[in-house]
């Protein structure tokens, strides 16, 4: 009997000891509750701790940085264009007592963050144009195709005022105080992805096509201008070459005529027979150019122009 009682006491002591002691790891903090109400301050130091057995309960709360992955939500921008925004955040439990009293667990915290972060994201998107959501920072320059050169085409979008990075900061600044009331410290929130609505995507693609068409028209215009310039230069060069060739031809012909005249004059002055032969040749050339089929010429019979037709090559002196 005494042995059974002592065994029972030993077992009871072991149970009490295990019920009273608990360990706190580095990654957790503990809230002790008694009859459902928090007792004392949160225990954040790791190690072995003691509580009242059977009466008090250990509630473990994460001390590490936690992640929040938002639900992709469709929302309008300031310029009335619908986009689907996907966000993510990092947070931790800064005030374990407040967190435990108001939320109790991570599931409730995530639900509350869905409401607050989703609302602030919607407000920030609605207060800015689409281009602010697409461009990361204000000073970031868009990539350009170096093969196209610099273009001064208008994209139809307003200039960047803030950029998406600054909008992320605005959402963080607006959401942080609201989550502090629940013992949550919001460390960071970012827009992970922006997806265009089908109608918006069609407009953007149409704008891209329009810009490329403008670039193509610009290069066609420049090409036509260059072609006209080349053709004009070719015409000028051709006329210059023709003019120079004509000048050289005239110079050669003039020189040849002068040399021929000199030869004719030299031959003409050598003998009477040479002079007569020269006159005969020149008369034949004159006949060839003066008379043609259908030509009518009225001359007197004693005209010197017809002396070779009469068989008398010697011209007769004119009667007084």
CATH of the domain at 166: 3.30.479.30
pLDDT reported for residue 2: 64
Torsion sign over Cα 257, 262, 267, 271: positive
pLDDT reported for residue 230: 93
Residue 302 vs residue 213, higher pLDDT? 213
Residue 268 falls within a domain, yes or no? no
Residue 173 falls within a domain, yes or no? yes
Domain check: are 56 and 86 in the same one?
no
Domain tally for the chain?
A: 2
pLDDT at 163 over 90: no
Residue 229 falls within a domain, yes or no? no
Domain check: are 116 and 39 in the same one?
no
Residue 175 vs residue 197, higher pLDDT? 175
Domain check: are 128 and 43 in the same one?
no
Q: Which of 86-90, 252-256, 286-290 is predicted most confidently?
A: 86-90
For residue 54, give the H/E element and its range.
none
**Which structural domain range is residue 123 located in?**
66-196
* C-beta separation of 102 from 182 below 8 A: yes
Residue 54 falls within a domain, yes or no? yes
pLDDT at 146 over 70: no
Domain check: are 73 and 97 in the same one?
yes
Domain check: are 52 and 9 in the same one?
yes
pLDDT reported for residue 265: 73
Mean pLDDT of the 276-284 span: 72
Q: How far, in Å, CA of 21 to CA of 19, rounded?
A: 6
The structure's pTM equals 0.57
* C-beta separation of 157 from 135 below 8 A: no
* C-beta separation of 90 from 187 below 8 A: yes
Mean pLDDT of the 55-74 span: 89
pLDDT band (50, 70, 90) for residue 267: low
The residue from 180, 196, 212 where one domain ends is 196
Helix (H, G, I), strand (E, B) or coil at 55: coil
Domain check: are 115 and 145 in the same one?
yes
Q: b/e for 259-278, b at 16 or more Cβ within 10 A? A: eeeeeeeeeeeeeeeeeeeb
pLDDT reported for residue 270: 67
Q: How far, in Å, CA of 235 to CA of 170, rounded?
A: 66
Residue 186 falls within a domain, yes or no? yes
pLDDT band (50, 70, 90) for residue 141: low
pLDDT band (50, 70, 90) for residue 184: very high
* C-beta separation of 53 from 42 below 8 A: no
Domain check: are 137 and 21 in the same one?
no
Q: Distance of alpha carbon 147 from its chain centroid, rounded?
A: 11
Residue 212 falls within a domain, yes or no? no
Residue 261 falls within a domain, yes or no? no
pLDDT at 113 over 50: yes
Domain check: are 101 and 188 in the same one?
yes
Q: Which of 59-63, 104-108, 179-183, 196-200 has the lowest mean pLDDT?
A: 196-200
The residue from 12, 42, 62 where one domain ends is 62
Q: What would the pLDDT profile of 37-46 be if each residue is shown by its tens digit?
A: 878 888 888 8
Domain check: are 70 and 149 in the same one?
yes
Query: CB within 8 A of 67, min separation 6: which ones?
Result: 88, 89, 90, 91
The residue from 196, 219, 249 where one domain ends is 196
Domain check: are 163 and 192 in the same one?
yes
pLDDT reported for residue 303: 66
Q: What would the pLDDT profile of 12-21 be if each residue is shown by its tens digit?
A: 566 666 677 7
Domain check: are 49 and 104 in the same one?
no
Residue 279 falls within a domain, yes or no? no
Domain check: are 13 and 74 in the same one?
no
């Amino acid at each position: 009997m005494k042995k059974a009682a002592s065994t029972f006491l030993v077992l009871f002591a072991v149970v009490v000891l295990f019920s009273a002691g608990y360990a706190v790891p580095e990654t957790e903090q503990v809230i002790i509750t008694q009859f459902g109400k928090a007792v004392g301050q949160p225990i954040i130091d790791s190690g072995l701790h003691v509580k009242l057995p059977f009466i008090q309960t250990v509630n473990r709360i994460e001390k590490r940085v936690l992640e929040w992955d938002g639900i992709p939500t469709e929302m309008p921008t300031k310029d009335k264009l619908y986009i689907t925004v996907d966000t993510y955040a990092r947070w931790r439990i800064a005030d374990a007592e407040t967190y435990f009293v108001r939320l109790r667990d991570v599931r409730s915290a995530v639900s509350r963050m869905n409401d607050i972060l989703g609302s602030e994201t919607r407000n920030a998107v609605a207060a800015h144009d689409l281009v602010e959501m697409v461009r990361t920072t204000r000073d970031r320059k868009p990539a350009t195709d170096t093969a196209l050169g610099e273009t001064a085409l208008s994209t139809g979008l307003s200039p960047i005022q803030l950029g998406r990075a600054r909008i992320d900061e605005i959402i963080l600044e607006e959401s942080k105080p609201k989550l502090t009331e629940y013992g949550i410290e919001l460390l960071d929130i970012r827009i992970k992805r922006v997806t265009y609505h089908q109608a918006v995507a069609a407009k953007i693609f149409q704008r891209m096509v329009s810009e490329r068409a403008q670039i193509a028209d610009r290069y066609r215009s420049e090409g036509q201008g260059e072609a006209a310039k080349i053709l004009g230069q070719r015409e000028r060069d051709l006329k210059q070459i023709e003019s120079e060739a004509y000048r050289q031809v005239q110079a050669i012909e003039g020189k040849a005529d002068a040399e021929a005249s000199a030869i004719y004059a030299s031959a003409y002055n050598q003998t009477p027979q040479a002079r007569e032969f020269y006159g005969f040749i020149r008369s034949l050339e004159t006949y060839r150019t003066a008379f043609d089929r259908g030509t009518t010429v009225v001359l007197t019979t004693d005209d010197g122009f017809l002396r070779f037709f009469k068989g008398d090559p010697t011209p007769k002196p004119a009667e007084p």
